[in-house]
Amino acid sequence: MGVARPTIGDYTGGSIGSPEKVADSSVYLDINQAKYFNFLVDDIDKAQSSGELMQALLAEAAAGLAEARDSFIASMAVDAGFISPSLQIATAEAAKKAVDDAFVWLWNNSVKISEELCITVSPWFYNLLKDKLTDIYTDNRDLIKKGVIGNYNGAIVKLSNNLYSDGTDEYMMIRTKKAIAFAGQISETEAYSPEDLFADAVKGLDTYGAKVVRPKELYVVRAHK
């Protein structure tokens, strides 16, 4: 949710008139995605007692759900305020120019220079851009776990294997944190005993939704090698 900007007027010492009704920009976000996992475990009690096996299985399941979320958020790129024409990018200078053009467009659309931006790129694009980064966070494990690998022009740079692709181009996203709204939760994780099997199982359900709510704060570099 957000609000429109109130009108700014010149005060001359007299009446300022009736107060303005400022519209909000509330949107309804549909929770329309549902992903699940469902795997067998020979003996859940034994797996839980050992700890490591169950922890590893659940970690892999969580990683799979996270990748599905990332892919869905990346698909929001098609609703960006601006999508560049298809670009063949083969040099560091070309990658830098594509990102610099995104900054100019965002600034021209009232995104403040002080606004925190995120640049999400594919591995091949990062490999070209990396020498242009202000900082590279290769030794920061906490940031790397979140996909953050550097900083460029004050924006964090994230690496993703889950960017949207139209079959020819991948859609690199340069955006503010407010451009895409996301809501979700793991609805349920539970152990159970399947019928007709001498084994136990664990299943989980993840539900979520996302929507571009500020398209002028989302720029897409549509590119291929």
Q: What angle do CA 167, 64, 62 make, to 5 degrees?
A: 155
Check whether 77 has a pLDDT greater than 60: yes
Check whether 48 has a pLDDT greater than 70: no
pLDDT confidence band for 139 (50 / 70 / 90): low
pLDDT, tens only, 150-198: 899 999 999 999 999 999 999 999 999 999 999 987 678 888 888 887 7
Residue with tokens 């007299």: 14
The reported pTM is 0.81
pLDDT given at position 197 = 78
The secondary element (H helix, E strand) that includes residue 82 is: strand 82-83
Q: Contact at 8 Å (CB) between 178 and 131?
A: no
Q: What are the domain boundaries of the chain?
A: 33-224
